[in-house]
């Protein structure tokens, strides 16, 4: 990003389990940076930063968190009206244009209620793992670990609710879709990649915290 | 001192007040009963959930919820003491209390999970995200109110301990259980009420914790190690020690996070305990001193 002309004014690594994030968030707020990119792993981390930013009257023009905003209703419950404009990179959201994903969303809402936009991305991730396991067991006609591993590393492309899955020799999914979403009017909206027909215009600058 | 460090000190003092609220009951219970209450963390979370229910479903202000949650947790504390704690033999009370209160924590966590699920929630009110500008710093109202609440409640606990007949009985039971019984003090009753009070004050800490952090039924485990560190540093059984230790630890942690790195702040939090105990094994206000007050 610095090669693209973005100047870093503050960067610090913090442990995920640190329960008191106020001093770090206050230090970030004091920089008055235009954009905050938070390497978060869960909802509490993101909500702590958002709360501290609101308390410090600091409103970055864009706020991106690596995890937390992808947790659907859990994220909304924690931050309430301050979800608006928050961005998160991820591989799935409830509106993903994939037939299997649409069927899963429909079945999930039927079973558990709520809105499609409330569905946690972990649901799709967990479901996709089950799909991959099922496809591998079906293809190898059994539970032989070596055969399953060889099959998954054979270059076979598997279809899941997260889209195509194709593992390289290291186990990385080379066919994974990468999106960025932004909460707009109470729903996560796809804003990246820019050339994707399902991507919408990002809200920038984001609205002020409530 | 740069503004960032000054802000870190202010943050540490305000957050320390909240931790003191959560730790006060823990140190009181140990001081009186020789019980290490591992369930204190989940009691904090239980208090937060009770405030959540009352604020969401009855529309009560977060601080108004304490009128109901403090007595409710007092009842929970009395029940836990009556059902579990008083059955522990004196000679193995401390060691066994760790196992028993851990079991209590698991039971309460399971109930909370069944009722509320594992989703994170947070308490909301108009003052939770707002702040007042003082001397160049934005001071969040929720922390200011929480700190004031800590001072009031801890002062109240002190008043109960040192200005009331119950407090006299309690301290007599602390000094010599048999002698206290010989002069007519119902030590079992004193212990039960003390356990109830120790859990009841946790409701206030839980409410402030829930307004400043997202939480779910598992969040108690993150808290208990820090609360135990605070009460050990302050001196087991000393309420004033818990307050000072909480302020000291949180200020230290926050300054290290800003001046050095947040990665090291957690380590420093626990390293401070080791260093202090090396030179003062009884903590800042050790148990003997606390009981002699």
pLDDT per residue over B124-147, tens digit each? Answer: 999 999 999 988 889 999 999 999
pTM value is 0.85
Which pair of structure tokens corresponds to residue A5? 């002309």
CA B51, CA A146: separation in Å to the nearest integer? 53
CATH for A75: 3.40.50.2300
CATH for B119: 1.10.3470
Number of inter-chain CB pairs under 8 A, A vs B: 103
Phi and psi at A133, nearest 5°, equal: -60, -45
Residue range of the domain that includes A121:
99-165
The B residues from 80 to 139 touching A (CB cutoff 8 Å) are 119-122, 124, 128-131, 138
Predicted confidence at residue A19, as pLDDT, reads 66
CA B192, CA B210: separation in Å to the nearest integer? 27
Q: Which residue has the higher pLDDT, B43 or A178?
A: B43
What is the percent of chain A with per-residue pLDDT over 70, rounded to a whole number?
99
Going by C-alpha positions, the residue among B41, B51, B192, B25 that lies closest to residue B104 is: B41
Looking at beta carbons, which residues of chain A come within 8 Å of B263? 13-15
Predicted confidence at residue B293, as pLDDT, reads 44
Note whether A46 and A85 are same-domain residues.
Answer: yes
Q: Quote the number of domains for chain B.
A: 1
Predicted confidence at residue B288, as pLDDT, reads 55
Q: Is the peptide bond before A193 cis (omega within 30 degrees of 0)?
A: yes
Residue range of the domain that includes B84:
3-292
Q: Quote the number of domains for chain A.
A: 2
Going by C-alpha positions, the residue among A24, A17, A14 that lies closest to residue B263 is: A14
Q: What is the average pLDDT score of chain B?
A: 88
Note whether A31 and A73 are same-domain residues.
Answer: yes
Note whether A157 and A186 are same-domain residues.
Answer: no
pLDDT per residue over A35-75, tens digit each? Answer: 999 999 889 899 999 999 999 999 999 999 999 999 988 89
Q: Is the peptide bond before A205 cis (omega within 30 degrees of 0)?
A: yes
Looking at beta carbons, which residues of chain A come within 8 Å of B254? 20, 22-23
Query: How high is the ipTM of this complex?
Result: 0.80
| pLDDT at residue B292 tops 50 | no
B98-104 mean pLDDT: 93
Instruction: Flag whether A207 is in a domain.
Output: no
Q: In Å, how far is A162's CA from the nearest CA of chain B?
A: 23
A100 CB-contact burial (10 Å; exposed 0-12 / middle 13-18 / buried 19+): middle
CA B43, CA B8: separation in Å to the nearest integer? 28
A148 vs B: CB within 8 A = no
Instruction: Flag whether A47 is in a domain.
Output: yes
Instruction: Flag whether A81 is in a domain.
Output: yes
Note whether A7 and A73 are same-domain residues.
Answer: yes
Note whether A118 and A186 are same-domain residues.
Answer: no
Note whether A83 and A40 are same-domain residues.
Answer: yes
Note whether A23 and A77 are same-domain residues.
Answer: yes
pLDDT per residue over B3-13, tens digit each? Answer: 778 888 998 99
Note whether A30 and A131 are same-domain residues.
Answer: no
Band of pLDDT at residue B1, cut at 50, 70 and 90: low
What's the Cα-to-Cα distance from B229 to each of A55, A132, A156, B44, B269, rounded to whole Å?
Answer: 29, 45, 53, 16, 9
Task: Name every residue whose Cβ is closer than 8 Å to that of residue A111 and which is 6 or more positions away in sequence.
Answer: none
Instruction: Flag whether A204 is in a domain.
Output: no
Residue A11: other Cβ atoms inside 10 A: 8
Note whether A68 and A131 are same-domain residues.
Answer: no
Note whether A109 and A147 are same-domain residues.
Answer: yes
What is the percent of chain B with per-residue pLDDT over 70, rounded to a whole number?
97
Predicted confidence at residue A204, as pLDDT, reads 93
| pLDDT at residue B290 tops 60 | no
B4 contacts A80? CB cut-off 8 A = no
Note whether A87 and A104 are same-domain residues.
Answer: no
Which pair of structure tokens corresponds to residue B114? 């069944």
| pLDDT at residue B286 tops 90 | no
Instruction: Flag whether A14 is in a domain.
Output: yes
Note whether A74 and A103 are same-domain residues.
Answer: no
- Give just the sign of the alpha carbon dihedral A67, A107, A162, A153: positive
Instruction: Flag whether A106 is in a domain.
Output: yes
């Amino acid at each position: 990003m610095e090669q693209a002309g973005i100047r870093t004014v503050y960067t610090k690594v913090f442990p995920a389990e640190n329960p008191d994030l106020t001093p770090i968030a206050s230090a970030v707020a004091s920089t008055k940076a235009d954009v905050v990119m938070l390497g978060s792993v869960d909802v509490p981390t993101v909500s702590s930063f958002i709360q501290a930013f609101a308390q410090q009257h600091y409103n970055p023009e864009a706020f991106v968190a690596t995890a937390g905003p992808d947790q659907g209703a859990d994220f909304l419950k924690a931050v309430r009206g301050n979800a608006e404009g928050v961005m998160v990179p991820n591989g799935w959201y409830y509106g993903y244009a994939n037939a299997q994903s649409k069927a899963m969303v429909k079945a999930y809402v039927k079973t558990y209620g709520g809105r499609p936009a409330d569905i946690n991305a972990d649901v799709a991730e967990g479901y996709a793992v089950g799909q991959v396991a099922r496809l591998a067991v079906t293809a190898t006609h059994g539970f032989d670990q070596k055969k399953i591993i060889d099959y998954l590393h054979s270059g076979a492309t598997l279809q899941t609710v997260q889209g195509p899955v194709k593992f390289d020799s290291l186990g990385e999914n080379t066919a994974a879709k990468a999106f960025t979403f932004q909460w707009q009017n109470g729903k996560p909206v796809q804003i990246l990649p820019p050339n994707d027909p399902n991507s919408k215009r990002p809200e920038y600058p984001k609205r002020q915290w409530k | 001192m740069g503004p960032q460090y000054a802000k870190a000190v202010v943050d540490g003092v305000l957050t320390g007040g909240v931790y003191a609220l959560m730790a006060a009951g823990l140190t009181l219970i140990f001081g009186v009963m020789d019980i290490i209450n591992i369930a204190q963390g989940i009691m904090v979370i239980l208090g937060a959930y009770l405030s959540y229910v009352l604020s969401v479903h009855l529309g009560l202000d977060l601080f108004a919820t304490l009128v109901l949650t403090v007595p409710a947790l007092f009842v929970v504390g009395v029940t836990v003491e009556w059902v579990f704690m008083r059955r522990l033999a004196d000679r193995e009370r401390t060691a066994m209390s760790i196992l028993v209160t851990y079991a209590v924590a698991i039971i309460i966590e399971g109930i909370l999970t069944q009722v509320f699920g594992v989703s994170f929630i947070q308490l909301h009110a108009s003052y939770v995200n707002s702040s007042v500008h003082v001397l160049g710093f934005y001071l969040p109202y929720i922390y200011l109110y929480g700190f004031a609440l800590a001072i009031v409640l801890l002062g109240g606990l002190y008043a109960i301990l040192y200005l009331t007949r119950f407090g006299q009985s309690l301290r007599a039971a602390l000094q010599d259980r048999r002698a206290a019984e010989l002069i007519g003090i119902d030590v079992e009753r004193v212990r039960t009420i003390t356990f109830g009070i120790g859990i009841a004050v946790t409701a206030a800490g839980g409410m402030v914790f829930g307004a400043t952090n997202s939480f779910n039924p598992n969040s108690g485990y993150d808290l208990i190690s820090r609360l135990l560190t605070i009460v050990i540093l302050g001196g087991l059984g000393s309420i004033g020690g818990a307050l000072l230790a909480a302020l000291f630890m949180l200020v230290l942690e926050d300054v290290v996070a800003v001046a050095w790195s947040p990665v090291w702040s957690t380590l420093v939090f626990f390293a401070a305990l080791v260093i202090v105990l090396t030179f003062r094994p009884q903590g800042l206000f050790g148990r003997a001193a606390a009981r002699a007050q």
